[in-house]
Structure 1
């Protein structure tokens, strides 16, 4: 019996060990800094707007202010290749851009919190889109840097850690900001609450000094280039390399629609909670605390989930789980103000999202050639975020037209095209082949 217990303990430790290696831990810290801006612009912002009396249709359009996350591939080539004076020489390409953008982001978040949307919606919109642009640029840098510092054998665990950190950042931006601002919490007001949340840039700074320079400089051209060559390599090379792969267009279409149903549901979750009469305290305790730990469980399960099923099956099963989780919100909407069903719905949704998001981001990371990491990952994640921004804008109208139960049923139906595309990719062998080709291409260019 003792030997069996000891063997089981060692097995658990062996399973957890890769999560505790230095570079996966650095990925966790980077995730914290990456996760907080978008949470302020989605969950916390929609809660804030609902609390000050902004109607659901306007809230739906306000989500469109996060459009820079869907367009970040347009300026990602500059982040990949444009050197910042002085800073690049001191810290290297990735870290120079990270420190520069984080300084601007900190100031923008402060101004967003002070914008008073109930009185100055235009000023609020300006600072929201500025924060979105800077947050999206920070994501370009952090996503590329994370992929470059993680060896291939640590990519699943590092990605899981990064998602864990991302959710920690989102948790601070959600629970922390609302608790700081709410009259039921510390009652510091939205300006101070948003400003203090801006300090979430600090973990990313620590990670950047800890992990050191990324591998980017080893795979970009070292010789002096003409302007034409530089533009060709910077603006055209990343997209041309990706589009030459088998099944490239089908992959891009899949990335665009895979999480559309989940994104539409999440955009209207907080307004529904407010409309159903849940208090700030209930919101924090259930939607955030229970949801947070559910997400952590899901993220922790993701790496063994991928190892057990393989990438193709993991994407398919996690997609089905996320689609099923929306059924819990149908039941919640039918029950109305029910703490029990809110707990069940949030816990189910967050566990399945933790698995699904980590599997999906690991897949996108594997598709990125290290020679063009920032641009290619930005392209893929931008397409994924289109579903969260403009394709989710009609969510407010749908909620008005169908009511909350009908709205959540609609999100399940909208998830079906992504599952059909994944099945086509899987049947044609593009899921695994594309990841393998990207890794082989990166190794070949690094060797040269």
Structure 2
């Protein structure tokens, strides 16, 4: 009993250490941008009279989170001129990414979607997604490097709490502000949303001040820094490869418009046709980007050893440790585990609005009450995972996430029922918290400490890539089949995940990599 009391006392003292408090404020800065392109923006666009299908396409602006592994090695090896000497590697990249986030939010606030071109809004939203994803990569690396192993659990808990607070400010906060300043469905006011987004940009100063006040973590002595020439070569390869990817994806847009009507009579499914066409565009653009990288190697502008160490070795290590078949199984699970809730989440705010809920009601129930239910679910999931094992709670979270999607079907038939909204949000966010806690522990178990930053960036990117791609078509799906059938579809999407968890659990029983 004495040891237990001492353990609780030490834990409470650890909560007040500078490293743990730093992660709380960095978590706020990390949580702010996401809902400004994934949730609050959808309500803004709907009030401005933009169609559902176009609104949900904007969720692709958050795909930067799904591709952050591409430039994660760059953040590990490329020092920023002047700032690197002044702040250090991690803090200099943190500051630059946070300033870029502020500029992107201001840029979004400067565009009126009802009058100006949506392309301008799309560029600002994509820039925000890229900048925010960059900040996430640096914060993950900072968290791992700035404290010893015994503090890592508290560091993660503090970061998640801050992240949820940031989401609350950007979700409920932005909705309350827009409503307070005078914008509502049927009474759209651009100035109200502009002021709200400008205030969100101002809140990002929390992250900037934290970055300037915190300490730079000690450099890993095992990591050998790249030569300046190699760093510049890696930067050149990244810029040219990304430019080739964007250029190819843009130039194939006309081809997609021509092929779509040709495939439609064959597939007899508009959303499926669109998904397949966009997937082909993505694969083609990725192949072109890889070809550009190989060309740069042949020309001698980039050393193959640098790309090998930055991109290939972390992937090879993962397949070597688990074996090809098990590695593919685990990656499938990582990529599909959150498909049910993310695909539904893209259009959730539009659904609430279509059901007649006001912005204050959405902010109170979905954003504020839902936030506390998610945090509570996270603590419950963490305790259950410690007691019963990660894989069992991973299965429980997947079952609950799929089942709670069925509650949305009931809400769709009832319409504007505030009590039912509380029930749906309670069940949905509680299950999401449980699933997230187990899933983060699962991802951590897959990561090799020698490649923590890059491998974790790969896993967290893959986690949202496929769900967000499908989520971009959720508006078209709803228009084609209606809300009840759409929610049933999202629940059915979770069934293959249960099989993957079962198979992965059998693998971990044999390898003893994850406690059962």
- Residues 31-84 of structure 1 deviation map (CA, whole Å, 9 limit, x = unaligned): 111111111111111111122221111122121222222211111110111111
1:256 Cα deviation (Å)?
0.5
* Paired residue secondary structure (1:429): helix
Greater alpha carbon shift after TM alignment, 77-86 vs 398-407 = 398-407
2:240 is equivalent to residue 237 of structure 1: no
CA gap 1:20/1:108 in 2 versus in 1, 3 angstroms: same
Aligned match of 1:372 in 430, 435, 451?
A: 451
Which 10-residue stretch deviates more, 325-334 or 339-348?
A: 325-334
Indicate conservation of the 8 Å contact 1:259/1:387, yes or no. Answer: no
Which is worse superposed, 191-200 or 131-140? Answer: 191-200
Q: Find 2:74's aligned residue among 62, 75, 78.
A: 78
Structure 1 residues 41-80: aligned runs within 5 Å: 41-80=37-76
- How many residue pairs get aligned? The number is 432
Contact 2:80 2:92 survives alignment (8 Å): yes
Other-structure match for 1:446: none
Give the alignment partner of residue 103 of structure 2, picking from 104, 107, 111.
107
- Give the alignment's TM-score, normalised by structure 1: 0.88
Pair 1:214-2:293 in alignment? no
Cα 1:86–1:258, aligned 2, differ >3 Å: closer, same or farther? same
Cα 1:222/1:349, change in 2 over 3 Å: same
The correspondence for 1:125, drawn from 109, 122, 126, is: 122
> Shift of residue 289 of structure 1?
1.9
* C-alpha separation in 1, matches of 2:169 and 2:510: 34
The corresponding residue for 2:86 is 90
Equivalent of residue 339 in structure 2, options 257, 260, 277: 260
RMSD of equivalent CA atoms? 2.9
Question: 1:345, CA displacement in angstroms?
Answer: 0.7
Partner of 2:202 in structure 1?
199
Picking from 363, 375, 400, the partner of 1:321 is 400
Aligned to 2:298: none
Shifted more, 394-403 versus 181-190: the winner is 181-190
What residue number does 2:430 align with? 351
What residue is the counterpart of 2:151 in the other structure? 154
Q: Which residue is 2:500 aligned to?
A: 421
Q: 1:105 to 1:338 in 2, by over 3 A?
A: same
Contact 1:297 1:354 in 2 (8 A): yes
Deviations 1:301-350 (A, max 9, x none): 33322211222222222222222222221221121110000011112211
Checking the alignment, whether the CA contact within 8 Å between 2:179 and 2:360 is kept in structure 1 is no
Q: CA deviation at 1:365?
A: 3.4
8 Å contact from structure 1 (residues 101, 138) kept in 2: yes
Q: TM-score, normalised by structure 2?
A: 0.77
Distance 1:367 1:224 in 2: 30
Distance (Å, rounded) in 1 between the aligned partners of 2:107 and 2:181: 23
Any unmatched runs of 5+ in structure 1?
A: 437-448
1:181 corresponds to = 178
Which whole-Å CA distance do the structure 2 matches of 1:435 and 1:198 have between them?
A: 41
Q: Is the 8 A contact 2:412 2:484 kept in 1?
A: yes
